[in-house]
């Protein structure tokens, strides 16, 4: 089954005979954490960045530092508009001294490229940087799960996959079943994971080969719905879902990615405005329902007192909500006024049918909080 994502159709879930959507998604989510899951991530935005000033350019458009990133290493970056609000995120990799590969959200690819070109052409014309959209040049298969290494070895990968030779947040060129590939050891699931990029014309061949090689290791294709559950279990955000143009890195609990040492970056001055430090800003939190089987509808509004007269004083809204088969209960994230100071408190979600869902405010990371599964 497919769904619209930006200008693409993406695989939503893969139902087997007689399965409901919930049953299919639960099966896919469990497989990605217990054996292996395979996701078509070809739609990710991809921008080729070249030029002697490429590192300086990235330093200006991302909130964190980029000048010291080594060749062959990857880094997660957060991009702000000039008003300090989160615009996009993604992983960028240094392929050579003056060569980078940037990924963006699927729906944000064209807007990000337009944004970068605007700054290059109108604000920083002195920088020697050249941008090329390569989204459609690369097909991407993301292989996640504890059996990922076994599958790649059976598929004939010609590099050492040990953590010392191929550490997390690094990239290598290799061949898989004879196909030339760029492999990035990055993860949106929190599991041992590889984003395998091949020329678009080789995408089907790669997918078929991996499925065949993984058959004995429990490989299971999973779609965007399972991807959402897996990343929510880890508290990973999706720009456009946890953000709406009014959310800052601090609101997301991501102060760690905002450099204190860089003299400037897009949005830096805006982050110093008095309003950015207000205690009642909507902030990202985790939500755990009192009834573990109840899933809060996305978009539902939170209140402190469900019995207050209308119009109710709303605290905020749910941004992501799913049932987690790995945890055995429902999980959610939401933006609540002063949410970072509300941990341990109870909030209520009145629904249109007159029922009320009760939930505790918790941390956004529900699964593997120490990140111990990243190496398998």
Q: What is the pLDDT of residue 273?
A: 96
Cβ atoms of 37 and 48 within 8 Å: the answer is: no
- Tell me which H or E stretch contains 90: strand 86-96
Task: Give residue 209's Cα distance to chain centre.
Answer: 26
Residues 6+ apart with CB under 8 A from 20: none
What lies within 8 Å, CB to CB, of 94 at 6+ separation is 69, 70, 71, 72, 73, 100
Indicate the helix (H) or strand (E) that contains 33. helix 21-34
Q: How far apart are the first and last CA of the chain?
A: 30
User: Would you state the pLDDT for residue 376?
Assistant: 86
Res 104: pLDDT: 96
Dihedral sign for Cα atoms in the order 29, 168, 364, 338: negative
Instruction: Provide block-wise average pLDDT over 10 residues at a time, the chain (376 residues).
Output: 94 97 98 98 98 98 97 98 97 98 96 98 98 98 98 98 97 98 98 98 98 98 98 97 97 97 96 95 98 98 94 96 98 98 98 95 97 93
**Burial status of residue 4 (CB atoms within 10 A of its CB: 0-12, 13-18, 19 or more):** exposed
Q: Are 336 and 285 in contact (CB under 8 A)?
A: yes
Predicted pLDDT of residue 6: 87
pTM (2 d.p.): 0.96
């Amino acid at each position: 089954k497919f769904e619209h994502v930006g200008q693409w159709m993406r695989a939503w879930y893969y139902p087997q005979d007689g399965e409901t959507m919930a049953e299919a998604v639960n099966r896919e989510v469990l497989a990605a954490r217990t054996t292996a899951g395979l996701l078509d991530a070809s739609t990710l935005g991809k921008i080729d960045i070249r030029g002697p000033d490429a590192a300086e350019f990235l330093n200006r458009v991302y909130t964190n530092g980029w000048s010291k990133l080594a060749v062959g290493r990857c880094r997660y970056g957060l991009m702000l508009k000039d008003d300090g609000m989160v615009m996009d995120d993604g992983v960028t990799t240094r392929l050579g001294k003056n060569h980078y590969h940037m990924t963006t959200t699927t729906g944000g690819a064209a807007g990000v490229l337009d944004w970068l070109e605007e700054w290059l052409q109108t604000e920083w014309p002195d920088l020697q940087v050249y941008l090329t959209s390569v989204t459609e040049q690369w097909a991407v298969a993301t292989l996640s799960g504890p059996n990922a290494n076994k599958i790649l070895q059976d598929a004939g990968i010609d590099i050492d996959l040990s953590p010392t030779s191929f550490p997390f947040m690094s990239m290598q060129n290799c061949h898989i079943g004879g196909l030339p590939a760029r492999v990035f050891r990055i993860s949106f699931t929190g599991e041992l994971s590889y984003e395998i990029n091949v020329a678009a014309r080789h995408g089907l061949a790669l997918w078929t080969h991996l499925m065949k090689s993984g058959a004995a290791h429990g490989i299971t294709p999973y779609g965007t719905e399972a991807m959402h559950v897996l990343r929510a279990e880890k508290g990973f955000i999706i720009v456009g879902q946890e953000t709406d143009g009014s959310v800052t890195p601090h609101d997301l609990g991501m102060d760690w990615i905002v450099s204190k040492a860089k003299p400037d970056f897009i949005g830096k001055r805006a982050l110093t405005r008095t309003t950015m430090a207000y205690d009642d800003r909507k902030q990202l939190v985790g939500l755990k329902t009192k009834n573990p089987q109840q899933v809060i509808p996305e978009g539902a509004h939170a209140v402190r007192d469900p019995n207050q007269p209308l119009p109710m004083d709303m605290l905020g809204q749910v941004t992501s909500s799913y049932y987690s088969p790995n945890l055995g209960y429902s999980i959610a994230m939401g933006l609540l006024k002063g949410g970072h100071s509300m941990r341990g408190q109870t909030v209520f979600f009145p629904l249109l049918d007159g029922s009320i869902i009760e939930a505790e405010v918790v941390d956004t990371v529900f699964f593997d909080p120490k990140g111990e599964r990243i190496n398998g």
